[in-house]
Amino acid sequence: MVEHGDIRVVHRGGSKINYREPVVTNDSRFLLCASGERVKVFSTSTEECVHELRGHTDLVTGVLLRPSNHLQVYSSSVDGTVRLWDFTDGILIKTYVIGYPVYSFYASANHGGVLFIVTPTQSDKRSELFQLVAVDLPQSGDQQVEARELSAVLSDVSCIPATIGFGRGGEYIASAKGLDLVVYFFKKGKSYRFPLKEDNKKGGKNTFLCIACHPKDDCIATGHEDGKIRLWRNFNHKKEYTYSTLHWHHNAVSAMCFTPEGTNLLSGGLESVLVQWRYNQESQRDFLPRLGSAIKHIAVSPDGALFCTSHSDNKITIIQSCVKVSAVIQGLVKGESVTTDLMVDPRSKSLVLNGKPGHLQFYSLQRDKLLYNLDIVQQEYIHESGLEQFEVVKVAFDASGNWMATVEERKQKDAELEFNLKLWAFDEQTQSFVLNTTVSAPHEARITAMCFCQATDSQTTMLVSASKDGHFKAWQLPRSARAEDEGPSWSCDFVGDYHGLVPECCCFSADGSLLAVSFQEVVTVWSPASWELLTTLSQPPKAVRDLCFGRLSCSKYLLGTTDNNLLCCWNLLTCSLEWSTSMDVSLLLIDPLTENMAAFCYQDGSSDLFVFKPSEPRPVFSLKAVCSGKVTQAVFAPREEMLESCEESSQWLNRSQLYFLTQYTDLMTFTTKAEEDRLMATSKQLVIDDSVARTPFYLLLGKHRKQENQDSLSSLSAEMMPVPQGSVAIKELLQTPAHVLPSTSFLCSMFVQSLLVSVTDGREESKHAEEEMESEKEEEDSEGEMESSTTRPEPVSLGSQSAESAALTKAQLRELRRVKKLDHGWLTGLLLS
Amino acid sequence: MASYKPTKIQIYPKLGEKVTQDTLYWKNYKAPVQIKEFGAITSIDFSPVAPHNFAVTAFTRIHIYGPFSQEPVKTLTRFKDTAYCGRFRSDGQLLVAGCEDSVVRLFDVSGKVALRMFKGHTKAVHVTDFTSDRYQIFTGSDDYTCRLWDIPNATELNSYREHTDYVRCGVTSKLNRDLFITGSYDHTLKLFDARANKSVMTMDHGQPVESLLLYPSEGLLVSAGGRYVKVWDLLKGGQPLVSMKNHHKTVTCLCLSSNGQRLLSASLDRHVKVYNTTNYKVVHNFDYAASILSVALAPDDESIVAGMTNSILSIKHRKSPEESNEVSGQQRRRPSYRVFVKGKNYVPKQDDYLVSKPVKQHLAKYDTQLKKFNVSKSLDTALETWTRLRKPEITVAVIKELDRRGTLKNALAGRDEQGLGRLLNFLIGNVVDPRFAPVLAPAAEMILDVYRQVIGQSPLVDRQLLRLQDLLEREIDYQQDLVEVLGMLDTLFASSLPRMEVARPGASRANGLAQGEAGASRPQLQAT
């Protein structure tokens, strides 16, 4: 075995953004949310991630705007620290070390310098009991401050952040856990407890799930498991409290929020409907239905203009005052199980797996962004627990990405399995897949495997589906498009079986001339051209689990794994077993670009990876204990640009990258050290100025401009090296304080462009200079002319000056700067127009 | 916020024949007018001149009907015995008919008494016709002869004794006054030239010839006899072109559509088939109640008249263009033009502030109810008469959707007698349809579960439940029969396939093809 120190397994993308409530900044331009060990800053208008605040070493459990400075934000983490950030620049300002894991934290404007945090009662992490403690944040100039002054406020609270809230003006804090509502009044230093009965007569569950306190009124709204909302009033007396009940939700209320003025109450739950209740006129409600999936958190911007809901499918929706969805920030959707294998769309090179119920998600690995969700089932999703829904279970792409096949199924108890095979054609115009054919009940029993013919040069594509009913079917698109208005649709071409055995997996050879279908312990090899059974291969006594044809130089090999932990390699030329080895392979897959194959083996509770070539006895690469648990989904994704690693052990990563899903549906990949270094370097460059709204157009244009600048700069440096003045001017430009200068990007491009033009227009420039010498008055006139005409003359004057003045004094330079600044105003205006 | 996704209505493969231009054309007739005659209708002939009356020969009478009347405008009754083959002359003034008593009679269409009687045949005369010069009559008789008669003198011009059996059909050429063709029960067709004393061409049909037809160009001859319809090329000396066997009983009559593109053949098997005359494929098929002896098409295909052995005359008139457009016209009622166009052509001015109206999604009635989770109401709307009868797939789709939402029971429950009756009616109509059975069978079970308590309270519902039970029992019997037939077929296939195929493991090609046809969206047979 070869040891490989430099290849390691890393998390790749797809971190949760719905773990905690998002925060909208005061100017409603940014949205901050906790995402794994980082805090992400999104732009509310363009949905792009602007910054990532990195520094925490464990899960971030909360984000809060600093009440005294709206440009700073606190974040808390399980690593026992609270950090203060400047989110506009993405700078860490301070770290408060608390020493206990923080599960949620709260702050109020009326309690300056104090944070309220929820920590476990015992210091060990596993404890189920939590307490609310107040932390005095020491005033200190240091980067890292120890904050150890803790004073308990409430004991026995819930660690869910939604169950604690500050009341009007920070006078009291309300906390709910189980069936108890506790209100603690800071002035009195007393807490009142309001218990609910375990079960009322109608069988509803009264457990508190969330809490919201009215900002202007003494009123606490609580959400319950049976879908009721209770509005508590008069709770500063132990006995005379009252509550009224609102009931619209039919499932648990999971999130509630008052608008900043307290006029409306927002609530949401599993139904994925945002309900807006008018405060004091609760019979009037507004609804925003079909938000996609269950609402987990609701946040309102401080000015009340934007509502944010974060959903269980890793999505944040930004809503303009309960009317219109203005933006959707969507992360990688992680269902409970990925029933489709991981796939790579050959066209967009994006990762395809099932996401939202009934959808396929196309996830760009390079950009770590969800490209789009494709609705496969095309049915209204009913948000109700315990309802069987259609699920996408199989996906296949053909080699060119023109066709996609999906299988969706729905199993109801005591009813037949419903399943459909759908074929989708890629539409160039809409750049998306369009449904071409639906085959309802293509087989009599569940489909076990499905694959497209991968030959790129063949005229017609072919799909083979194998089913538990003992048949496999070949589907083909008829070549002769009939003259009817609807285009050609797929139909069954051949039905095959083998002694009534159940086919388990099927695989086409790389050139599409052979089809291998495994029937339990027998592998049958068919010729798709004539549908003749060519040969059978078998390795009794156990059933074949995975089948794979070799590629390129190894195309004569067929590999399979069996249930009795055997990896077999058959030679198709001799129709005999070439070699076999004993290993418990849970997944066998082939790199579509090279002849490498990867096998994940399950051993002692963890998975090992072997990368090998079928023709060589020694594995190319092996890594023990890649992750715990079985790996059942993995895929080779082609790289955008090839790596040039010459090391033997990492060569297999040169052309494609191996992604896999762990037991807990974490997306992981293998990287080399060199690649990581390069990634770090690029991420440092990518600090983006956010003075302009970051629309896609801006991104495009901004990049273009920057490139232009670089190009011109390099050409400038090549041409202008002998001219010392230019460099002097640049040096001067760099020496002046930054706050006096206009935006550098403008300045730079202007300045550089001006220099360029002056060189090419030498003749005109000299003439101009002469005129300048002749009379001051005329110059003024001409100056006026220039301003009214075009942008071109202006750089000329600049260039002439820089060219002629061999030794400019500092005063002159300053003058020059002033002129330049004057002109830039209208120039940018012209540029923008 | 995604918009509501409407219920998916599954498109089922159309059962039965495909809709083609021909089906549309030949279906575009009104319900038939049926008139009872006195005996089997042996011949129908349309007058060549307007108003295109037609003469119907049945028993001892010839009735002449107007194009729109249901009563005969004229009746010719002076026959001593069964009349045969009443034919109009090309000017529509004279009519000739044969008779069982061997006398050929010539009538003036406006008169009652025969103008001329041609006596000479010794047996029943089944064929009569005018030659194209209008002065002669050609007849064919059961005495194996065919004769030419001169009308003015009522004398026999010529007699041909070449056939060896009854002469039962014949046509005269419309282009040449001397040519006529006869068909006989001796299986031959003979082309005669009046200028010669014997036949000039003989063709063998192979069956007793029942009917003959000449194309307007007279290059092709069509003959019908036995189950066959054959086409002959006269210009190539009587070479057979096509032989068609589409009926399963004797073909009795032929006629050509007005544009000459379609050929109709009527048969004792109660069908009239329409052929395309370019490829001689059947493009349409009419069913009648009894065996058809004669069929005729009015000029411009304005009506189809068929006479049957049970002495019923069936007349189908073409629908007028307004009538055929009526159905679609009613559906497409839209707001008046002015309302419709209001504001559509308004061009916004420079400083107008545009307020865009959200585009309203149009939903079907049942979808609006489903969107509001009104499950019972949505089922009600889907069970409305028109939908239930015309588009059962919509009703089935709504039931399926309700089932998917887990609310089908709620939607089915709580119905009164009328509502339940409607539901059961729908079930009785569709539950055995293999396309709908997987959805409707569980729904029927659910209905029985829900309404178990009320059985016996309403006679209407009970009757329908009994019908449903009866239907299901019959369906089970059918399915069993089908399985038996399938088993028989399997044995047949197994014995007929070559040995090698059987020995080879894996699927046979035949199996693949049979399944492949139904592959696109396969309705599965299901034993309920």
Please give the backbone phi and psi of residue B507, each rounded to the nearest 5 degrees, phi first: -85, 150
- A101 prior amide bond cis, ω within 30: no
Mean pLDDT of the region B377-396: 89
ipTM, two decimals: 0.72
pLDDT of residue A821: 60
Enclosing H/E stretch for B116 = strand B114-118
Give A383's contacts in chain B (Cβ within 8 Å): none
Terminal-to-terminal C-alpha distance of chain A: 66
Q: Do B439 and B473 contact (CB within 8 A), yes or no?
A: no
Q: Is the pLDDT of residue B473 over 90?
A: yes
Q: Give residue-wise pLDDT tens across range B48-81.
A: 888 889 999 988 889 999 888 788 888 988 888 9
- Flag whether residue B507 sits within 8 Å of chain A, measured between CB atoms: yes
What is the model's pLDDT at position A688? Answer: 47
> What element of type H or E holds B37?
none
CA B60 to centroid of chain Cα atoms: 30
The pLDDT score that the predictor gives to residue A697 is 64
Is pLDDT at B501 greater than 50 in this prediction?
Answer: no
Q: How far is A491 from chain B (nearest CA, A)?
A: 5
- State the pLDDT at residue B335: 60
Task: Look at residue A826 in the predicted model and tell me its pLDDT.
Answer: 58
Q: Which of A51-65, A328-342, A356-370, B368-382 bottoms out in mean pLDDT, i.e. has the lowest?
A: A328-342
- Please choose, from the candidates A709, A720, A710, A718, the residue with its C-alpha nearest in 3D space to the C-alpha of residue A749: A709
**Averaged pLDDT for residues B330-351:** 67
Q: Does B357 contact A at CB distance below 8 Å?
A: no
| Residue in A325, A380, A493 nearest the CB of B516 | A493
pLDDT score recorded for residue A202: 60
Closest chain B residue by Cα to residue A377: B8
Q: Which of A382, A416, A495 sits opposite B507 (nearest CB)?
A: A495
pLDDT score for B377: 92
Sequence-distant (≥ 6) Cβ neighbours of residue B153 within 8 angstroms: none
Check pLDDT > 70 for residue B521.
no
Confidence grade of residue A816 (pLDDT, cut at 50, 70, 90): confident
- DSSP summary character for residue B29: B
Tens digit of each residue's pLDDT (9 = 90 or more) over A514-525: 899 998 888 999
For residues B305 and B54, what is the distance between their CA atoms, to the nearest angstrom?
9
pLDDT tens-digit readout, B260-280: 889 999 999 999 999 998 889
Comparing B262 with B345, the larger pLDDT belongs to B262
Q: What is the dihedral of CA B483, B485, B491, B493, to 10 degrees?
A: -110
What pairs with residue A598 in β-bridges? Answer: A589, A611
Predicted confidence band of residue B513 (pLDDT cuts 50, 70, 90): very low
In tens, the pLDDT along B174-220 reads 888 889 999 999 999 999 998 888 889 999 999 999 999 999 888 89
How distant is the Cα of A532 from the closest Cα of chain B, in angstroms?
9
Give residue-wise pLDDT tens across range A130-155: 888 898 888 877 788 888 778 888 88
pLDDT confidence band for A714 (50 / 70 / 90): very low
Those residues of chain A whose CB sits closer than 8 Å to some CB in chain B are 288-292, 324-325, 375, 378-380, 382, 384, 386-387, 410, 415-416, 437-442, 444, 471, 473, 475, 489-499, 524, 531, 533
> What mean pLDDT comes out for the span A347-369?
84
Instruction: Quickly state the pLDDT bin for A465 (edges 50, 70, 90).
Output: very high
One-character DSSP codes across A337-366:
---SPPEE-TTT--EEEE-STTEEEEEETT
Average pLDDT, chain B: 85
Closest in A375, A494, A533 to B505, CB measured: A533
Put simply, the answer to whether B8 touches A489 (Cβ < 8 Å) is: no
Does the pLDDT at position B230 exceed 90? yes
Query: B327: distance to nearest CA of chain A, Å?
Result: 24
Q: Which two tokens stand for residue B230?
A: 């054959």
Per-residue pLDDT band for B16 (boundaries 50, 70, 90) equals low
Q: Is the pLDDT of residue B295 over 90?
A: yes
The b/e string for A389-405 (b: 16+ C-beta within 10 A; e otherwise) is ebbbbbbbbbbeebbbb
> Is the model more confident about A14 or about B113?
B113
A494 and B512: CB-CB below 8 Å? yes
Contact at CB, A492 and B405, closer than 8 angstroms: no
Which structure tokens are listed for B358? 């959200």
pLDDT the model gives residue B260: 84
Nearest-by-CA chain B residue for A291: B1
pLDDT at A654 over 50: yes
Q: Which of A133-142, A771-780, B502-511 has the lowest mean pLDDT?
A: B502-511
CA distances from A503 to A361, A570, B503 (A): 29, 19, 21
Residue ranges of B 467-506 with Cβ closer than 8 A to chain A: 504-506
SS (H, E, C) A110-172: CCCCEEEEEEECCCCCCCCCEEEEEEECCCCCCCEEECCCEEEEEEEECCCHHHEEECHHHCE
Nearest CA in chain B to A444: B524
Query: pLDDT confidence of B517, banded at 50, 70, 90?
Result: very low
Tell me the average pLDDT across A717-739.
55
Distance from CA of residue B526 to its chain's centroid?
A: 31
Average pLDDT, whole number, for chain A?
A: 79
- Count of pairs with CB atoms under 8 A, one residue in A, one in B: 86
Q: Give CA angle at A213 (A208, A217), nearest 5°.
A: 140
Cβ distance of A290 and B2 shorter than 8 Å: yes
CA distance B468 to A572: 59
On the question of a cis peptide bond just before residue A442, with omega within 30 degrees of 0, the verdict is no
Least confident residue range of A49-63, A595-609, A814-828, B390-404: A814-828
For an interface test with B, give the residue of A251, A380, A387, A439 to mutate (most B CBs within 10 A).
A380
Residue A387 with chain B: CB contacts under 8 Å: 405-406
Confidence band for A379, pLDDT divided at 50, 70 and 90: confident
What CA–CA distance (Å, rounded) separates A345 from A64? Answer: 39
Q: Which tens digit of pLDDT belongs to each residue from A18-68?
A: 888 899 998 888 999 888 888 889 888 888 888 888 888 888 899 999 888
Q: For chain A, give the percent of residues with pLDDT over 70.
A: 78
DSSP letters spanning B169-210: EEEE-SS-TTEEEEEETTSEEEEEETTSSSEEEEEE-SS-EE
Is residue B248 over pLDDT 50?
yes
Q: pTM for the full model?
A: 0.66
Interface test with B, best of A273, A295, A494 (most B CBs within 10 A): A494
In sequence order, the β-bridge partners of residue A666 are none
pLDDT of residue B165: 92
DSSP tag of A199: B
Confidence of residue A782 (pLDDT cuts 50, 70, 90): very low
The pLDDT of residue A271 is above 70? yes
- Answer yes or no: do A379 and B512 touch at CB < 8 A: no
Model pLDDT, residue B310: 92
Residue of A325, A387, A490 with shortest CB distance to B1: A325
Q: For residue A190, give the 3-state DSSP assignment.
A: strand
Give the pLDDT confidence of A55-107 residue by residue, as tens digits.
Answer: 888 888 999 998 888 889 999 998 889 999 998 888 888 899 888 888 898 98
pLDDT at A589: 87
> Which has more pLDDT, A23 or B526?
A23
Inter-chain contact A496–B507, Cβ cutoff 8 Å? yes
